[in-house]
Amino acid sequence: MKKRRERIDRGIKVRSEDIYALCSWREMLYLAGPRVLPAAVFLLLPLFLGVYWQKVMLSVAVFALLAMSWDMLAQSGMISLGQALFFGMGAYVSGVLNFYFGLPPWITIPLATALGGALCTIVLLPVLRLRGIYFSMVTLIIPLMLVRIIEATKIFGGTEGLSGMTPLPAGLIEVYLVTGVFLAVLFGLRRLMETDYGLVLKGIRDNDRSVTNAGINIYWFKTQALFISSAIGAFAGAFMTHIYMFVGMPVFALDYSILPIAAAVVGGVGTTAGAALGAVLLVPLSEALRGIGGLRIVMYGLFLVVFIVAVPEGLFDYIQRKYHQMERWVEIDK
C-alpha cells in the first residue's frame, strides 16, 4: 500500500476569528500559543541565565528593537540603511543629558527616546520625498557624516567620547527594562500595522499615488512613521549608553545599521515578529562564534547566505504558514 502526504489547511484557522475563538480551550490555545509562549520564554529566561548570557539577552533585545524599527520603516516604504543614526542619536542625547546635566537614567532614557526620535525625523525630513534607493543612500551617509563631524569639531568629547555615565541598577532590572520594552514594541507594532492606520502606511509603500489620491498627505504619514521608528531606535541607543556607561563615535558604527537588516531579512521582512526572530537567532549565534576567532565573520556570513537561499520568504512567514497547515499520510488506492 503506497502512501502520499496530503496537505490540508487547518479548518480551525478559519473559525479562530471573532467569537468562535472562545469556543474551546483548543482554539484559544491555537491562537494564544504562538503569542504567549515566546513572551513567557522572554520573561522567564533571565531568571535562569548567568551574567554573561544575561548580557547577550540585552544585546538580543537591543538588536531586535533596531530590527523591528527597520522593519516598520520598510513596511511604510522607506528602506533605511542607517539604523545607526537612530541608535547613535538616542545614545548621544542620553549621554549628553547625563554627563552635562546630571540627569538620572530614568529621565534621560525616556527623554532621549522622544528627543532622539524627533531629531532623527528632523534630520531626515528634507529627504522624505526621495523614494527607494535615494532615500536609502542618504540614511547610509548621515551617520558616517555625524562621526566625522564629532571627530572634527571635538564636540561631546570628540574621539574620546563621554564616559562615566550613571549605570542602571545591575542585574535583573536592566534585563527586564529592555525585555519589557522589546515585548511592548513587538506586540504594539504588530497591532499598529494591522489597524487602518497601518494599512495607510503600507498603502504608501505599495502605491503612494493612490494614497495621495485619497486626500491623504503621505509626507505627514511618512513623518509619523519615521518618528515612531526612530524613537524605537533611539531608546535602544539611550539604553546602551547607560549599560556601557560610555557614549562615543562607535554608536554610529555600521554594525548598528547592517545587523538589524540582516535580522529582518532572515526572519522575514514586513512582519515585525520576523525581525525580532531574526535578532533572537543572529545575536546569540554571533556570540557563540566568538570562540572560533578570525573566521567568525566568515561563518556568520555563510550562515546568512544559507538562510537567505533556503528560506527566502523569511523564517517567520515559513513557520507561520506551516503552523496553519497540517499534513497527513493518506493511502493511495491501487
Residue ranges in contact with other proteins by CB under 8 A:
196-197, 199-200, 202-203, 206-207, 209-218
Q: How far is the CB of 202 from other proteins (least distance, A)?
A: 8
Output 200 or 289, the one with its CB closest to other proteins.
200
Q: How far is the CB of 290 from other proteins (least distance, A)?
A: 41
The alpha carbon of residue 47 and the mean position of all alpha carbons in its chain are separated, in whole angstroms, by 24
Cα separation, 27 vs 18, in Å, equals 11
Length of the chain: 334
**3-state SS assignment for residue 112:** helix
Q: How far apart are CA 165 and CA 102, in angstroms?
A: 9
Nearer to other proteins, 201 or 249 (CB): 201
Least gap, CB of 206 to other proteins (angstroms): 5
Q: How far apart are CA 214 and CA 207, in angstroms?
A: 11
DSSP reduced 3-state for 16: coil
CB of 211 vs other proteins, minimal distance in Å: 6
Of 161 and 198, which CB lies nearer to other proteins in the complex structure? 198
Q: Which is nearer to other proteins, 197 or 323 (CB)?
A: 197
Q: Which is nearer to other proteins, 206 or 331 (CB)?
A: 206
The DSSP H or E segment spanning 48 is helix 25-48
H or E element, residue 331: strand 325-331
- Smallest gap from Cβ 225 to other proteins, in A, equals 14
* Coil, strand or helix at 136: helix
What the block records as the C-alpha cell of 166 is: 550613571
